[in-house]
Structure 1
């Protein structure tokens, strides 16, 4: 298979970079109390987490977005900093959802709503975009996408080395239009943009 192209580059203004840096400082501050990300130097975290999420922005259509299993806000809060549209962060862990609420308040993101509950119990509107990072394999994510996405909506899922194996496992059970993008931040990773998701009729 031909190596896919990366997403188009999305510029970062000075003001936006300052807000992203403020978010990263909050992430580091809270990381000492609750495990949000693996410990690493700030610039490593900037590349591994902030820029990794930022590269998704050109792949997202306009409209309401939900980030499932948002954890420390990756990629949901990064996206919300760069995209002032309705954003829902779903995180069942109470400590992590408390961090998301505080980060949303401090960063001044009134378009973000945090749902401190399981995905199945979250009251979400019909969504244009669904994201999830390091949450679950595609076989577990696709039922959520089929239920939550409005017609024409897309799911954008960054995946690591298991990307193609996950797609192969899901293919017999799901119809979907698959677009692949090479990650700009991890040579071993692939970003899937999936649309027209529906169960295969047996």
Structure 2
């Protein structure tokens, strides 16, 4: 597990409790995943923290149960915008952010319809193939910004597919929490003309 301060750990424990309460009413994570909430979801999200500069603005796409966006807001205190189209999940995100004292703004819209200020960093986890993520991220990202996408075993094939339509600078960072997973960091990307 990523080392965090006592205060941050307490806020993450608060988040885990709120998630468990809400998960009984709305499907935020698979019920069988609840007993693995720390390694499978919280610590998976926390592995992005060392890659995030202090004060950088973050926009998280398809925030769902708060992974990784809300976890990053709790762990870094950076301002995070959470984009989620499901109104019930938005209600959960707002309540969890309030109780965990996280600096977040929740945008209850589809990603394509959201128009937040461009961010320094775009994140997403278990949302869509890389090619689609890049299309959503481009208008929401500052020119000198970058994306951090948590991916599973298909990370390399998604990069290969995306490179047909996108020029990009990228790196693959092995996941600390999923032996087959990876973090894809992408910057300087534009569509192939």
State the partner residue of 1:74: 67
- Displacement, 1:123? 2.5
Distance 1:13 1:181 in 2: 24
State the partner residue of 1:93: 86
Q: Residues 59 and 193 of structure 1 are in contact (CA less than 8 Å); yes or no, is this contact kept in structure 2?
A: no
- Displacement, 1:108? 1.5
Distance 2:143 2:3 in 1: 29
Aligned length: 192
Q: Which blocks of at least 5 consecutive residues in structure 2 are unaligned?
A: none
What pairs up with 1:89-168 in 2 under 5 angstroms? 89-109=82-102, 111-168=103-160
State the partner residue of 2:182: 190
**TM-score of the pair, normalised by structure 2:** 0.95
- Displacement, 1:10? 5.3
Task: Note the alpha carbon deviations across 1:66-115, whole angstroms, 9 max, x for none.
Answer: 00000010111110001112210000001101100111111122x21001
- Partner SS for 1:79: helix
- Partner SS for 2:31: coil
Runs of 4+ aligned structure 1 residues displaced above 2 Å come to: 40-43
- Displacement, 1:197? 1.0
Q: Which residue of the other structure, out of 161, 166, 174, is the alignment partner of 1:169?
A: 161
Q: Which blocks of at least 5 consecutive residues in structure 1 are unaligned?
A: 1-8
Q: Which residue of the other structure, out of 172, 178, 187, is the alignment partner of 1:180?
A: 172
Distance 1:28 1:180 in 2: 32
Alignment CA distance shift 1:89-1:41 (3 Å): closer
**TM-score of the pair, normalised by structure 1:** 0.91
